[in-house]
Amino acid sequence: MKFKRLIGKLAFASFLAVQGITAQEKAPEKKVEASQEVEERFLVLGSIIPENGNILVGSSARLETEDIRKHSYADINRILRKIPGINIREEDGYGIFNNISMRGIDSARSLKITMMEDGIMSAPAPYSAPDAYYSPNAGRMNGIEVIKGSSSTKYGPHSVGGVINYLSTPIPNEETFYYKQLFGNYGEARSHAYYGNSYDLEAGTLSFLLEYYDRQNDGFRDIQHASGDTGINHQQEPMLKVRFEPKTSQYQFFEFKLAHTEMSAPLSYYGIEDEEFEDNPYDRYWGTQWDQFDARSTRTYLKHFIELDEDSSLETSVYYNKFHRNWEKIKTVTDDGSGDSKLDIIKGIGTGNDEIALKNNNRDYDAYGIQSEYKQSITLGGLQNNFTFGARYHVDTYEDDSWYNRYSVTGRTVNGITSDKATADPGDYRKAESVSLYLVDQIEVTDKLTITPGVRYETIQYKLDQRGDTGRPKYQNQHDFWAPGVGFAYDFNENYQLFGGIHKGISTPGVEANTVDGTRHEESINYELGLRYRKEAAAAEAVLFFNDISDYYDGESQASGTVDGQTVGDVETYGLELSAAYDLGVANGWDFSNPWYAAYTYTHTEIVHLNDGVAAEDGFFNGAEEGNEMPYIAKNQFALGTGLHFGKVGFDLSTNFVGGMYSGADNDRRIGENFLVDLSGYYDVNDNFRLVANIHNLFDEEYEASHHPNYDRAGKPLTFTAGFEVKF
Q: Residues for the chain: how many in total? A: 728
Beta strands 222-223 and 283-284, pairing class:
parallel
Which SS3 state, helix, strand or coil, does residue 3 take?
helix
Contacts of residue 583, Cβ cutoff 8 Å, sequence gap at least 6: 537, 538, 593, 594, 595, 596
Q: Can you give the pLDDT at residue 563? A: 62
State what percent of residues in the chain have pLDDT above 90: 77
Q: Can you give the pLDDT at residue 559? A: 65
Residue 187, class by beta-carbon neighbours within 10 Å (0-12 exposed, 13-18 middle, 19+ buried)? middle
Residue 578, class by beta-carbon neighbours within 10 Å (0-12 exposed, 13-18 middle, 19+ buried)? middle
pLDDT at residue 484 greater than cutoff 90: yes
Name 387's bridge partners: 376, 441
pLDDT in tens, 359-388: 999 999 999 999 999 999 999 999 999 999
Reported as a pLDDT band with limits 50, 70 and 90, residue 21 is: very low
> What's domain 3-727's architecture?
Beta Barrel (2.40)
DSSP state of 380: E
- Write out the DSSP string of 99-143: -EEETT---GGGTTSEEEETTEE-SSBTTTB---S----GGG-SE
Q: How far apart are the first and last CA of the chain?
A: 29
C-alpha 515/C-alpha 522 separation (Å) is 11
Q: Can you give the pLDDT at residue 58? A: 83
pLDDT in tens, 653-706: 999 999 999 999 999 999 999 999 999 999 999 999 999 999 999 999 999 999
pLDDT in tens, 228-273: 999 999 999 999 999 999 999 999 999 999 999 999 999 999 999 9
C-alpha 621/C-alpha 507 separation (Å) is 18
Q: Which amino acid is at 1?
A: M
Neighbours of 484 (CB within 10 A): 14
Helix H, strand E, coil C: the string for 156-177 is CCECCCCEEEEECCCCCCCCEE
**What's phi and psi for 139, nearest 5 deg?**
-65, -20
Q: Are 529 and 576 a contacting pair, CB within 8 Å?
A: no
Question: Nearest-5° angle of CA 196, CA 6, CA 194?
Answer: 10
CA Rg value for the chain: 26
Domain boundaries, the chain: 3-727
C-alpha 382/C-alpha 385 separation (Å) is 9
With residues binned 3-state (H G I as helix, E B as strand, rest as coil), the percentages for the chain, rounded to 5, are 10, 55, 35
| Residue whose C-alpha is closest to residue 392's, from 375, 369, 409 | 369
Contacts of residue 105, Cβ cutoff 8 Å, sequence gap at least 6: 112, 113, 160, 161, 507, 547, 549, 573
Reported as a pLDDT band with limits 50, 70 and 90, residue 109 is: confident
pLDDT in tens, 385-416: 999 999 999 999 999 999 999 999 999 999 99
Average pLDDT, the chain: 90
What does the pLDDT average to over 593-608?
97
Element (H, E) at 26: helix 3-26
C-alpha 717/C-alpha 709 separation (Å) is 20
C-alpha 261/C-alpha 136 separation (Å) is 9
pLDDT in tens, 491-513: 999 999 999 999 999 998 878 75
The mean-pLDDT minimum among 29-43, 114-128, 474-488, 617-631 falls in: 29-43
C-alpha 675/C-alpha 704 separation (Å) is 12
Beta strands 354-380 and 403-410, pairing class:
antiparallel
